[in-house]
């Protein structure tokens, strides 16, 4: 049903009869006609007051000819209903359309689809630019931090490499010093044992027999080459005169005949042959080294 505000017309009120007739016609078409067509039985169903839709229609019909005297056939109930209906109509006409302005849109504030789409597009691109700027700023900071971290890592790596190289060099030096001390200690013990075994006073008879382990070998568990290395340790081979002198002294010390003259009578029978074979091999090794120097 269409509602029409009284303010939209020049006068404050419409002509009541025409407007009521219009409302009644619309109500009849919207309510009564479908009810009669689809459910005619409902026209005779009464409400709590005992009034049926058919009765209401009869009351709303205009008076026709041969109407009885109003004073004799006035129904108090019907009269009260008509009065109530009049009051309702009066109140309806007074208040109808009073609050329509509260729900009317201001045409100046209306936003059509094109303007709305443009606004949404501007807001979207504004947010996208702000997001890109934040990402660019964050990426720049991360790149700067990554570059700084890379430089720090390279510097730390170089320092670590230099420290490891320095420690390795120190380790090699300590190992070389230890090896030199070990070789010096072996030669010192070798010379001390040779003096005790071969250079004892002739007036004093040596005591005890000599087994294989009692011989002052330069390297008791080493090879012939290792024994020669211990004998000649510390000698300057660039000074051939001094080096040959040291070599001849060792040749005389380990010559098989001279060794047998000094110690042959003291050798244990179980180790005699092994001792003589080692002395012969050591003498031959010294002779080969002397031959290479000529």
Q: What pLDDT tens digit does each residue of the chain (294 aa) get?
A: 334 444 444 443 444 555 556 666 777 777 778 877 888 887 788 887 788 877 777 776 654 444 444 445 667 778 887 787 777 777 766 665 555 555 555 555 567 778 888 888 889 989 988 988 888 888 777 777 777 778 888 888 888 888 999 999 999 999 999 988 988 998 999 999 988 888 654 444 446 788 999 999 998 888 989 999 998 988 888 888 889 899 999 999 999 999 998 888 889 999 999 999 999 999 999 999 989 887
218 class by beta-carbon count within 10 Å (0-12 exposed, 13-18 middle, 19+ buried): buried
What pLDDT score was predicted for residue 173?
92
Whether residue 250 contacts residue 232, with contact meaning beta carbons closer than 8 Å, is answered with: yes
Q: How many CA atoms lie within 13 A of 236 on its CB side?
A: 4
**Is residue 260 left, alpha or beta, with left meaning phi > 0 and alpha meaning psi from -120 to 50?**
alpha
pTM: 0.43
What pLDDT score was predicted for residue 189?
92
What are the contacts of 201-207 at 24+ separation with CB within 8 A? 206/266
Q: How many CA atoms lie within 13 A of 37 on its CB side?
A: 7
Q: CA Rg, the chain, in Å? A: 68
Question: Other CB atoms closer than 10 Å to residue 282's CB: what's the count?
Answer: 23
Instruction: Give the span between the Cα atoms of 12 and 229, in whole angstroms.
Output: 137
What pLDDT score was predicted for residue 254?
93
Q: Which of 193, 182, 183, 195 is closest to 233 using CA atoms?
A: 183
Query: Which residues have a Cβ under 8 Å from the Cβ of 44 and sit 6 or more positions away?
Result: 52, 53, 54
């Amino acid at each position: 049903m269409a509602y029409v505000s009284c303010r939209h017309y020049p006068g404050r009120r419409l002509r009541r009869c025409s407007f009521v007739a219009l409302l009644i016609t619309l109500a009849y078409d919207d309510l009564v006609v479908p009810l009669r067509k689809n459910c005619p039985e409902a026209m005779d169903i009464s409400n709590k007051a005992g009034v049926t839709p058919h009765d209401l229609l009869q009351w709303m019909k205009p008076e026709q000819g041969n109407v009885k005297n109003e004073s004799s056939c006035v129904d108090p109930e019907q009269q009260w209903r008509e009065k109530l209906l009049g009051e309702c109509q009066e109140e309806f006409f007074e208040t109808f359309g009073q609050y329509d302005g509260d729900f009317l849109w201001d045409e100046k504030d209306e936003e059509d689809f094109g303007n709305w789409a443009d606004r949404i597009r501007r807001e979207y691109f504004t947010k996208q630019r702000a997001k890109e700027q934040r990402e660019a700023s964050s990426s720049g900071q991360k790149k700067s931090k990554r570059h700084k971290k890379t430089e720090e890592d390279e510097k730390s790596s170089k320092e670590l490499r230099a420290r490891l190289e320095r420690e390795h060099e120190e380790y090699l030096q300590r190992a070389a010093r230890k090896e030199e001390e070990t070789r010096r200690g072996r030669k010192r013990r070798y010379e001390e044992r040779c003096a005790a075994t071969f250079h004892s006073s002739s007036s004093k008879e040596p005591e005890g027999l000599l087994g294989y382990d009692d011989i002052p070998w330069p390297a008791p568990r080493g090879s012939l080459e290792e024994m020669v290395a211990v004998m000649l340790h510390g000698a300057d081979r660039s000074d051939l005169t001094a080096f040959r002198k040291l070599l001849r002294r060792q040749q005389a010390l380990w010559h098989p005949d001279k060794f047998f003259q000094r110690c042959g009578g003291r050798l244990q029978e179980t180790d005699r042959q092994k001792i003589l074979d080692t002395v012969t091999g050591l003498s031959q090794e010294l002779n080969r080294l002397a031959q290479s120097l000529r």
